[in-house]
Amino acid sequence: MKNLFDFIGIDESDIQWYHLAACNGMTKSPEFDWFYDLYETDKTAAKQVDQMCMSCPVIKICHDEGVKNKEKGVWGGVYLDLGRVDKQYNLHKTPEVWKQLKKLHGKNKIHG
């Protein structure tokens, strides 16, 4: 079978993991950012972002990058602060969501 990238005419070396992210192309509003400001202040928006992340094909890579680079905001479905799980901004997550995240990322990488 032919490589998908060849089939659609894309050079595989030009693709980065974030190009395949479910959030790729989401525009930032001048007033807020879904993965920082809105996530921090609106539990409904936070749950929508969580759902999007849970269906993302690169959720594990995203989380690993956020941790490695000591990022702040939502990375791989988890709100991080300096690469660590921020308990305050993840309070809306249910035990079921944490269970799914631990399964996706590995039990030792997520503490929720």
Q: Give the pLDDT confidence of 16-57 residue by residue, as tens digits.
A: 888 889 988 776 666 667 787 778 888 898 999 999 999 999
Which ranges constitute the DSSP H helices of the chain?
4-8, 37-41, 43-54, 59-68, 95-105
Return the closest-CA partner of residue 19 out of 1, 5, 7, 6.
Answer: 5
Neighbours of 68 (CB within 10 A): 10
- Tell me which residue of 90, 88, 68 sits closest to 77, measured CA to CA: 90
pTM above 0.85, yes or no: no
pLDDT at 85: 93
- Predicted confidence (pLDDT) per residue in 80-103, tens digit: 999 999 999 999 999 999 999 999
Q: How confident is the model at residue 1 (pLDDT cuts 50, 70, 90)?
A: very low
